[in-house]
């Protein structure tokens, strides 16, 4: 399954495009995206330069957490389509020379899954121990308490839910409707592998994005988490329930199945700042996962006691650079592989988070971030809408009631509980956090045509003469300004630039995809300079990337031979080979606001 990182592989230099089914394209006009809608846009994705599509959960589900609460792994959520529609999508994708990845959500199921329905019937039910049940604790005064003080990933409540019928608590690291499976039981693991993996591998799926890949093995003693939020009853506990004692054993079992099909994997790996622990997951020799999503970059700017308690400008460029450095240097001198991503379904829009989303600067910001990512090492991931420079919905035109994600409304509930339901100032402060960081921004329906109804989200149905309904989530207020149709024929658009940079990335893969990354001038508060050193046929070659993260023109000095890792000697020449702005610029020439350039180092 996994091979040495210096060997070229399709999944390393391939571009992965992530699709959120409910919000990508509505083919029948019911206001909900669907599988035929995805199929209808495959030519668009091929033209963009995509090699692999990653489809977020399309399985049967009550949709408490938008499909990450699965009630049947072997069926499709009906508003999205059928198993036959999924088979058609797989076939049509393959016919275009692209591949398909699915989301593998196996830490937990829905509470509506037949397994859990049986498990909660009685303490002696054969499936009782397929989930994690614990008796209550009691205080000195006799108050019933959960088994420990862990806080859930959504809101501020406990990870334990009391079940009246059987008088015990069950564990749910996420929503209470998402009970955690008991991976300690071999029978459970075998059932998971068969129903969630092999069912779809037999239908031609090429790999999986593995959800919460380091949470399956819990600490046997379930200790209390340390107090880091003194005002809260329950405490963040990620470092305790991630990377448990049997995680690598379980991944060995999974790999034994995946390798039979040649399936690729990318694991979601939160709460793992120790690079030596990350390497255990992605070492080629270990044969566990091909690559992982580290959270260093997308966690920049998050709040301390709660991720959504963050504000614009609450981080420095050196902090962002340090986060990038950690994920990029994972492959230096190792047999590991890494990923490049700034957005996904769990993150707000990167232009709004890391650059400037004002009307004046948002296009330049999107192009600069595209250039930056195109030059980074590892497998490139693009999230739907990122290629047209979508930004967060503005606060003044997208009110709080439009936010539908349970993580958002549970955060607001937590704030109301802590400060009072009538505390307008604290609620508005929380709204600021949502406008900056909420998952909702990535889930707003895709803007295909600004002249179409609801931003053209149902353009396929409209073209067929079908009366379309309002989307399940309010359209983007800027859909008339930022949409695919308006950018497709414009050579200066963000979409055209993404196409250009993905082609550039392929052309210079030995430098961009497979090269080694080094940050220069880490402490610079305004500019991000990094060096790429090539491998394979490009061994010995070097490229310099220069990025201006400010909205002002910036002077910069050409790096010395020492900074470039070259011996003192002949003069070094820098030849511009890519840029966000038109026209060739000499090395050292001032950078325009939010300008990015790439120079080939000639020596």
Per-residue confidence at 306, pLDDT binned at 50, 70, 90? confident
Structure tokens given for 407? 């993580």
Statement: residue 304 has pLDDT above 90:
no
Handedness of CA 507, 50, 265, 65 (dihedral sign): positive
Residue partners of 69: CB distance under 8 A and separation at least 6: 61, 62, 63, 108, 109, 110, 111, 112, 175, 177, 178
Residue partners of 304: CB distance under 8 A and separation at least 6: 228
Q: Which of 268, 346, 440, 595 is catalytic?
A: 268
* Backbone dihedral angles phi then psi of residue 202, each to the nearest 5 degrees: -65, -20
Going by the DSSP 8-state scheme, the letter that residue 143 receives in this structure is: -
Mean pLDDT for the stretch of residues 553-579: 92
Mean pLDDT for the stretch of residues 282-298: 93
**pLDDT per position as a tens digit, 199-250:** 999 999 999 999 999 999 999 999 999 999 998 999 999 999 999 999 999 9
* Backbone dihedral angles phi then psi of residue 316, each to the nearest 5 degrees: -105, 160
Statement: residue 521 has pLDDT above 80:
yes
Statement: residue 2 has pLDDT above 50:
no
Structure tokens given for 301? 């700017």
Establish whether 268 is a catalytic residue: yes
**pLDDT per position as a tens digit, 386-412:** 999 999 999 999 999 999 999 999 999
**pLDDT per position as a tens digit, 327-374:** 999 999 999 999 999 999 999 999 999 999 999 999 999 999 999 999
Provide the strand spans (E) within 219-368.
Answer: 264-269, 291-294, 339-340
Per-chain mean pLDDT for the chain = 96
DSSP 3-state of 557: coil
- How buried is residue 585: exposed, middle or buried, by Cβ count under 10 Å (0-12/13-18/19+)? middle
Structure tokens given for 462? 């409209």
**pLDDT per position as a tens digit, 55-103:** 999 999 999 999 999 999 999 999 999 999 999 999 999 999 999 999 9
Per-residue confidence at 603, pLDDT binned at 50, 70, 90? confident
**pLDDT per position as a tens digit, 91-124:** 999 999 999 999 999 999 999 999 999 999 999 9
Q: What is the pLDDT of residue 312?
A: 86
Q: What is the pLDDT of residue 84?
A: 98
Mean pLDDT for the stretch of residues 132-153: 97
Q: How far is CA 419 from CA 154, 232, 235, 309, 430, in A?
A: 18, 12, 18, 14, 11
Strand partners, 269: 294
Strand partners, 554: 591
- How buried is residue 106: exposed, middle or buried, by Cβ count under 10 Å (0-12/13-18/19+)? buried
Q: Which of 118, 163, 198, 211 is catalytic?
A: 211
Establish whether 211 is a catalytic residue: yes
**pLDDT per position as a tens digit, 544-560:** 999 999 999 999 999 99
Q: What is the 3-class SS of 563-594, one letter each residue?
A: CCCCCCCCCCEEEEEEECCCCCCCCCCCECCC
For each of the domains in the chain, give its residue range(s) and CATH number, in order of start.
15-109+186-486 (3.20.20.80), 114-171 (3.90.400.10), 515-602 (2.60.40.1180)
**pLDDT per position as a tens digit, 154-172:** 989 999 999 999 999 999 9
Q: What is the pLDDT of residue 3?
A: 44
Pairing of strands 291-294, 264-269: parallel
Q: What is the pLDDT of residue 6?
A: 65
């Amino acid at each position: 399954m996994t091979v040495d990182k210096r060997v070229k592989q399709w999944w390393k230099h391939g571009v992965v495009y992530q699709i959120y089914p409910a919000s990508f394209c509505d083919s029948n006009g019911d206001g909900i995206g669907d599988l035929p809608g995805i199929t209808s846009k495959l030519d668009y994705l091929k033209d963009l330069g995509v090699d692999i599509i990653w489809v977020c959960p399309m399985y049967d589900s009550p949709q408490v957490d938008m499909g990450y609460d699965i009630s049947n792994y072997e069926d499709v959520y009906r508003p999205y389509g059928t198993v036959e529609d999924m088979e058609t999508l797989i076939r049509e994708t393959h016919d275009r020379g692209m591949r398909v990845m699915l989301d593998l959500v196996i830490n937990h199921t829905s509470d509506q899954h037949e397994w859990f329905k049986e498990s909660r019937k009685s303490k002696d039910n054969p499936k009782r121990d397929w989930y994690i049940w614990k008796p209550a604790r009691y205080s000195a005064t006799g108050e019933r308490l959960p088994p420990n003080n862990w806080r859930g990933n959504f809101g501020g409540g406990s990870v334990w839910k009391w079940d009246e019928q059987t008088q015990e608590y069950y564990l749910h690291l996420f929503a209470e409707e998402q009970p955690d499976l008991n991976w300690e039981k071999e029978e459970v693991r075998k059932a998971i592998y068969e129903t969630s993996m092999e069912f779809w591998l037999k239908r031609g799926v090429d790999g999986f994005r593995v959800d919460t890949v380091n949470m399956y093995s819990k600490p046997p003693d379930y200790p209390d988490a340390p107090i880091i939020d003194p005002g809260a009853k329950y405490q963040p506990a990620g470092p305790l329930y991630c990377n448990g004692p049997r995680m690598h054993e379980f991944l060995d079992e999974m790999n034994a199945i995946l390798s039979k099909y040649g399936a690729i994997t990318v694991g979601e790996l939160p709460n793992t700042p120790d690079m030596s622990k990350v390497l255990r997951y992605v070492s080629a020799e270990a044969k566990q996962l091909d690559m992982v999503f580290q959270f260093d970059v997308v966690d920049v700017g998050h709040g301390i006691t709660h991720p959504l308690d963050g504000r614009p400008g609450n981080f420095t460029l050196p902090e962002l650079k340090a986060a990038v450095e950690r994920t990029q240097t994972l492959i230096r001198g190792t047999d590991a592989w890494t990923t490049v991503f700034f957005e996904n379904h769990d993150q707000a829009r990167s232009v709004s988070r890391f650059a400037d989303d004002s009307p004046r600067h948002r296009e330049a910001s999107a192009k600069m971030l595209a250039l930056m990512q195109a030059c980074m090492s590892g497998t490139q991931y693009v999230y739907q809408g990122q290629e047209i420079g979508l930004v967060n919905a503005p606060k003044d035109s997208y009110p709080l009631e439009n936010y539908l994600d349970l993580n958002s409304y549970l955060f607001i509930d937590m704030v109301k509980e802590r400060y009072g339901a009538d505390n307008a100032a604290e609620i508005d402060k929380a709204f600021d956090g949502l406008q900056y960081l909420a998952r909702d921004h990535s889930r707003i329906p895709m803007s295909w045509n600004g002249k179409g109804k609801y931003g053209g989200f149902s353009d396929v149905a409209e073209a067929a003469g079908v009366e379309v309904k309002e989307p399940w989530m309010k359209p983007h207020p800027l859909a008339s300004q930022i949409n695919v149709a308006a950018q497709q024929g414009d050579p200066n658009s963000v979409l055209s630039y993404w196409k250009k940079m993905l082609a550039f990335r392929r052309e210079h893969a030995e430098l961009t995809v497979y090269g080694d990354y080094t940050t220069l001038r880490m402490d610079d508060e305004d500019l991000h300079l990094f060096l790429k050193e090539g491998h394979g046929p490009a061994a010995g070659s070097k490229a310099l990337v220069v990025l201006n993260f400010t909205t002002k023109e910036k002077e910069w000095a050409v790096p010395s031979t020492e900074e470039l890792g070259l011996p003192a000697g002949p003069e070094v020449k820098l030849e511009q080979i890519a840029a966000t702005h038109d026209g060739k610029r000499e090395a050292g020439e001032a950078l325009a606001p939010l300008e990015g350039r790439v120079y080939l180092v000639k020596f």
